[in-house]
A = this chain, B = another copy of it.
Amino acid sequence: MTTTEPRPRRSDATRAAILSAAKERFAADGYERATIRAIAADANIDPAMVMRYYGNKEKLFAAAAVFDLRFPDPDTIPHAQVGARLVAHFLDRWEEDETLLALLRAAVTNAAAGEQMQAIFANQVLPLAAALAPDPAEAPVRAGLLASQIMGMALCRFVLRLPPVVGMTRDDIIAWLGPTAQRYLTAAHP
């Protein structure tokens, strides 16, 4: 038995346009300033359609903020390079998918977005740290430290746009942050 795909509806294109516009607006403006009217205008549809297909603004955001970090299999990474590889992977994910930016911008002022951020941390970052940390009991703290450095870099580079941080190249960032991530994940407790 194949997985039962719900047969394609005629309105799928509209749904997709709404979701795409929502991601863009949430990423650019944050939760409160991204208005349903503006999202609908971007998608060239009536604001009422947003309500019809997504119920309300919170559910629309929940749909727009689904995100998979797509970590590589930890076993395929040489132990000495996990830091650099993860920093590089995070940078790529951050730049190729605006969803993370939307999530960050919204999570700072919206409770539901904050919880979604916590869920991503618990379901995706924590298992990764558990697979890499020398002692599984330390995994949560190590995951938290990794998150603090990665999110801080994203904050300064993509949100606050601090000029020296914006000016760094991808390789600069990997060279500086790689050892930090490596230490947070694998080094002995200081």
Interface, chain A (partner B; CB < 8 A): 29-30, 32-33, 104-105, 107-109, 114, 117-118, 121, 140-141, 143-145, 147-153, 155-157, 159-165, 167-168, 172, 175-180, 183-184, 190
Contacts and interface: CB of A to CB of B under 8 A. Distances in A.
Nearest to A184: B176
Given A114-B161, A176-B184, 9 more contacts: A33-B109, A118-B162, A141-B164, A144-B156, A147-B152, A147-B165, A151-B152, A152-B155, A155-B155
A156 B107 CA distance: 11
Given A108-B109, A109-B29, A165 B190 contact: no
A30 B109 contact: yes
B143 A164 contact: yes
For the complex of A and B, 4 pairs with smallest distance between CB atoms = A152-B152, A140-B164, A30-B109, A144-B164
Contact of A159 (B108, B153, B178): B108
A113 to B, nearest CB: 10
A161 B172 CA distance: 29
A109 B25 CA distance: 12
B165 A148 contact: yes
A161 to B, nearest CB: 7
B140 A148 contact: no
Contact of A114 (B152, B160, B178): B160
Contact of A145 (B104, B143, B176): B176
A37 to B, nearest CB: 16
Contact of A32 (B33, B118, B151): B33
Given A30-B109, A105-B109, A179-B183, A155 B165 contact: no
Given A109-B29, A151-B156, A121 B162 contact: yes
